[in-house]
Homo-oligomer: A and B are copies of this chain.
Amino acid sequence: MKNKLKRLQEIKEIISTSSIGSQEDLLNILSSRGYELTQATLSRDLKQLKVVKSPTAGGAYKYILPERGSTQKTTTGDGYSYAGNAFISIAFSGFMAVIKTRPGYASSIAYEIDEKAQNEVLGTVAGEDTILLVLDEKVSREAVIKALSSFIPNIL
């Protein structure tokens, strides 16, 4: 219909000026302003507007508009990893390990480690060509190597 756009505007306005806790409430307000639609349509409208139902401090819920001017997130898309090439060496000390990489690759490899070796590695800190890993004190160094080897073939 022609008034979908106006309706979306109205929805944004209602949501931003009052505290709406359910689609049914919003539906009633819209109805009182002359917009006839069903919950199904409203659900789709809210999805399109990227409206979100957020828990409030008072223990209830309210709909909120998405952040304005938020930057689009960039997704690499290719899904390929340079880990194999960029990896240079690994060494252990206590419950830590240091990985050397080719310059510039430390953070991307660290990101993969964070993703894929959560059981073995508590966390990482990456510089330019060095990654510091904090290992779980319950796992062996062999287990760490094994976990990393699934996406860093050169490690062996």
Q: Are B132 and A93 in contact (CB under 8 A)?
A: no
Q: Are A52 and B50 in contact (CB under 8 A)?
A: no
A130 closest partner in B (C-beta) = B123
Please name all residues of chain B whose beta carbon is closer than 8 Å to the beta carbon of A78 when the two chains form the complex: none
A68-124 residues with Cβ-Cβ distance < 8 A to B are 70-73, 91-96, 98-100, 107, 110, 114-115, 122-124
Q: Are B115 and A17 in contact (CB under 8 A)?
A: yes
Question: A30 at the A/B interface (Cβ < 8 Å)?
Answer: no
Roughly how many angstroms separate A64 CA and B114 CA in the complex, as a whole number? 19
Q: Are B17 and A137 in contact (CB under 8 A)?
A: no
Q: Are B98 and A134 in contact (CB under 8 A)?
A: yes
Give min CB distance, A22 to chain B, whole Å.
14
**Chain A contact residue count (CB 8 A cutoff):** 47
Known pairs A53-B53, A107-B128, A132-B132; list 7 more (Cβ under 8 Å): A52-B54, A93-B135, A96-B96, A96-B134, A98-B122, A98-B134, A99-B123
Can you show 20 pairs from A to B with CB atoms below 8 A apart? A50-B54, A51-B55, A52-B53, A54-B66, A56-B71, A57-B73, A64-B70, A67-B70, A91-B122, A93-B95, A93-B135, A93-B136, A95-B96, A96-B134, A98-B122, A100-B123, A110-B127, A123-B132, A125-B125, A125-B127
